[in-house]
Amino acid sequence: MTELNSLSGRIHVLDPRLANQIAAGEVVERPSSVTKELIENAIDAGSQRIEVEIEQGGARLIKVRDDGIGIGEQDLPLALARHATSKISSLEDLEGVSSLGFRGEALASISSVSRLELVSNADEDPRQGWRVVAEGRGMEARVTPAPHPRGTSVSVRDLFFNTPARRKFLRTEKTEFAHVEEAFRRQALSRYDIAWVLRHNQKVVHQLPPGNTPTARERRIASLLGKNFIEHARYIEREAGGLRLSGWVGLPTHSRSQADQQYFFVNGRVVRDRLVAHAVRQAYRDVLYNGRHPVFVLYLELDPDVVDVNVHPTKHEVR
């Protein structure tokens, strides 16, 4: 990254640490955005179980542990480097990307504004794990042995410890954890085949067994959104033109004063689409009172080649 020196008029390359912190401003907004990025990495690793541990709303600790494929000793030095990824290698890969993450920026950005520890094992032998640490600076490519079951644990401590201005803008512990829980909720609704655990200050908040049957899915929705949601929702399924839409839509009698229970997924990726939200509102316009919002959990499946996920830093929007 380069910029024009305002004093000398000359262009110089930014210090890697500063470049990472600037990039972190786009990816790392608060503890919930860190949680989202780490969970997406765990999903992409093929995990069957993902555990999220939070302390003090995420300001003190965000830890995500999975049982995925893990990272080998030789690859670990690159895990915290910018633009290092195992998910794409060419423009063609980007045009049909199916993984949740692909830019190779998240861990580098997070490690530039926190004390990050990554322990991973790509072997079945739990004695074969490896550890790498970064504390708000460029990655120290020193890998040390650390026993760990197959999979990966990422611990993010003291978020924004070296950027006091950003840490000052964090809200109360309750508010920050509410955002973390929402990030967890969205991901848990995206993958019913994965077992999920969320803890806050060592107390279990959600413990969700895997299950892809209709009954198991409804149980998970009830756990995450409340029994009232599933008791007042109807399952829909439509397929046409290479598109498949399925999910649950609430009855008009079960509406909300806020649009806080509207979930839309494209090929398993949670996205925010104003056009979809508007279309659903229009469908309810004659049966909802003014100021009320419908509830829904909808899944759209289509060919990844016709979806552009590289339009927003946080990948919340697609085209």
In this structure, are residues 97 and 85 in contact, taking their beta carbons and an 8 Å threshold? no
The CATH T-level fold of domain 16-208 is Heat Shock Protein 90 (3.30.565)
**Non-local CB neighbours of 234 within 8 Å, separated by 6+ positions:** 248, 249, 251
- For residue 259, is pLDDT > 80? yes
Q: pLDDT by residue (tens digit) across 182-212?
A: 999 999 999 999 999 999 999 999 999 999 8
Across the range 132-136, mean pLDDT stands at 90
In this structure, are residues 50 and 65 in contact, taking their beta carbons and an 8 Å threshold? yes
Sheet holding 115-121, edge to edge: 144-145, 130-135, 115-121, 151-157, 61-66, 49-55, 195-200, 203-208
- For residue 140, is pLDDT > 90? no
CA 160 – CA 109 distance, rounded (Å): 11
- Between 95 and 254, name the one with better pLDDT: 254
CA 314 – CA 124 distance, rounded (Å): 33
| pLDDT for res 83 | 53
| pLDDT for res 102 | 46
CA 150 – CA 62 distance, rounded (Å): 20
Q: pLDDT by residue (tens digit) across 206-233?
A: 999 999 899 999 999 999 999 999 999 9
- For residue 178, is pLDDT > 90? yes
Name the percent of the chain in helix, strand, coil, to the closest 5.
30, 25, 40
Q: Which CATH number, 3.30.230.10, 3.90.1150.10, 1.10.150.120, 2.40.50.100, labels domain 214-306?
A: 3.30.230.10
Ranges of each domain in the chain: 16-208, 214-306
Nearest of 69, 17, 56, 61 to residue 35 by alpha carbon: 61
